[in-house]
Amino acid sequence: MSIGRTESVALLGLTGNVVEIEVDIADGLPGFSLLGLPDAALSESRDRVRAALINSNETWPNKKVTVSLSPAWLPKSGSGFDLSIALALLIAQQTLPQAPFMQTTILGELALDGKIRTVRGVLPALIAAYKSGIRRAIVPAANRAEAQLMSAMEVLTFATLHEVVVWARTGTTPQVQELDLEVDDSSTYLDFADVAGQGKARQAAEIAASGGHHLLLIGPPGAGKTMIASRIPTILPELDLEQALEVTAVHSISGGLGDRSPMSRLAPIISPHHTASRVAIVGGGSHIIKPGACSLAHHGVLFIDEAPECAVGVLDSLRQPLESGTITITRSVGNITFPAHFLLVLAANPCPCGKFIGKGRACTCTSIQVRRYLGKLSGPLMDRIDMRVIVEPVGRVEMAQTELGESSSVIRQRVIAARAAAAQRFADQPWKLNAQIPARELRNTYKPERAAMNFLHDELDRERLTARGLHKVIRLSWTLADLSEHPTPTLADVQRAYALREGSEL
């Protein structure tokens, strides 16, 4: 009998490699051999493929079946090769022609009844196939929306193995709905108008969104820290097409597209619980390396509530991605780099009982307990936080007001205007946000006025600022200047940025 050949994609993080599946059927004792470094899930494909073929009214050869996945040195994992193996086996039996599957990548897990189940990582897999010269793909119907984001390829979607077989034999193409990449407004019920009072924290959120600056909110329970942080994505600009595809690819790798539309242009917000492990925050795994919360928040917000309650070392693991915008995970299978450009928002109580802010009359904590509590946030991590804002308890005057505060749509327009000013200033540069200005450029090109620099150098001499802190203040002052429509940060802008960084009054 002839050899059947199909192609699929093996993913290692966001990087994909085209895998050629070859099936040989020979005389001998009935058996099934799978070659090419498969993992446990892939090794179990024999029983899934056999049941799916029989339940789709196809035949299973009662001979020696050898399946080779090449390149053989590349580790392969997951059940996404099931459909490709089944079709290659039918081609080897000469019950399907080889021609329809030439230059076609095939993805899909098979159920025992022949249905094609969804798989993770469809978008990055198609991107890898396209870069290898493949222009057509067969994917599960459940992954249609995600797959059709790769508009440069011809994407065929099927719900069952039988449908693929009918298409290969008759050329009957399934009806495909055209996809229009539109903004998903499913989370627009969150609005800053719901926040009573808290003018300082609202301003800080606007500044953070305008320049991409990291933010720490310190206040008692019930003051509105979580409300403010969860509404920051509503004032961020919509993601452009390239950013939306990057976010969808990362969420697809993690298998987390169930709660996010592939077509969404909304900035993501990821809120891991404070008991999350280090692997959950930065990513990892043994056989299948998945992105962590910092990568899932790419181009969005990573919000960690009750930050001092996190386990030792969890928040400190964010120090490297906060600086580089990427996270590299090293395992025995190789090195995988995920993108991690996110806006970090931390929320914390001022003390274990949470009542130290304000007059502090109800606080039952000792001075040592107060110092130790926020001391759980390490100095190197705090040095990477741009703003520290005290969120005061809400009084009855604010709660009794009938007029709502500014809505997210109004604030968003100011954020968009500030980002547009920054983008115009950085038109010839690879970065677009003030928080991303390299330190070298801050010293040479993007200096505040002379009086402002003298102020910062004095604080540096008094050891009240680190070198990183000086750069953070200058970046923050550029955002304040953009919001105030100043061509260059003034002394007032720099002093306000310094006050925000130190947690002083606005």
For 473-499, what is each residue's pLDDT tens digit?
999 999 999 999 999 999 999 999 999
Q: Is the pLDDT of residue 259 over 90?
A: no
Q: How far apart are CA 31 and CA 117, in angstroms?
A: 26
pLDDT at 182 over 60: no
Average pLDDT of span 206-233: 93
Which DSSP string corresponds to 286-313?
A: SSS-EE-HHHHTTTSEEEESSGGGSPTT
Tokens of 43: 């090794």
CA pair distance 13, 249, nearest whole angstrom: 10
284's CB contacts (< 8 A; 6+ apart) are: 290, 292, 329, 331
8 Å CB contact between 349 and 342: no
CATH of domain 192-408: 3.40.50.300
Q: Which residues contact 6 (CB under 8 A, 6 or more apart)?
A: 20, 21, 84, 85, 87, 88, 91, 101, 104, 106
As a whole number, the mean pLDDT across the chain is 89
Question: What integer pLDDT is reported at residue 190 of this predicted model?
Answer: 83
pTM of the model: 0.88
Instruction: Give the rounded percent of residues in the chain with a pLDDT score beyond 90.
Output: 65
Whether the predicted pLDDT of 330 surpasses 80: yes
- The DSSP symbol for 115 reads B
Tokens 């193995």 map to which residue? 161
181 falls in which pLDDT band (50, 70, 90)?
Answer: very low
Q: Which CATH architecture has domain 437-506?
A: Orthogonal Bundle (1.10)
Fill in the DSSP letter of residue 176. -
Provide CB contacts within 8 A for 165, sequence distance 6+. 56, 58, 90, 96
What is residue 247's predicted lDDT score, i.e. its pLDDT?
92
Task: Name the fold adopted by 4-170.
Answer: Ribosomal Protein S5; domain 2 (3.30.230)
The number of beta carbons lying within 10 Å of the beta carbon of residue 186 is: 11
- The pLDDT value given to residue 403: 65
Residue 119 has φ and ψ, to the nearest 5°, of: -130, 160
Residue pair 386/435 in contact (Cβ under 8 Å)? The answer is yes
DSSP state of 143: G
Exposure on the CB side of residue 138, measured as CA atoms within 13 A = 30
Token reading at 56: 């789709």
Give CA–CA dist 397/409, Å, rounded. Answer: 25
Helices and strands in the chain: count of H runs, count of E runs: 20, 18
Which SS3 state, helix, strand or coil, does residue 16 take? strand
- Report the alpha-carbon distance of residue 10 to residue 128 in Å, rounded: 9
The reported pLDDT for the residue numbered 360 is 59
Q: Quick check: 1 pLDDT over 70?
A: no
Domain range annotation of the chain: 4-170, 192-408, 437-506
**What six digits make up the tokens of 223?**
């003051």
DSSP string covering 54-94: HHTT----SSEEEEEEESTTS-B-SSTTHHHHHHHHHHHTT
Which ranges of 132-192 does DSSP label H, i.e. alpha helix?
144-147, 161-170
Alpha-carbon Rg for the chain in angstroms: 27
pLDDT digits (tens, 9 = 90+) for 138-170: 999 999 989 988 888 999 999 999 999 999 998
Tokens of 78: 């997951």
CB of 319 within 8 A of CB of 282?
no
Higher pLDDT, 212 or 374: 212
* 3-state class (DSSP) for residue 72: coil
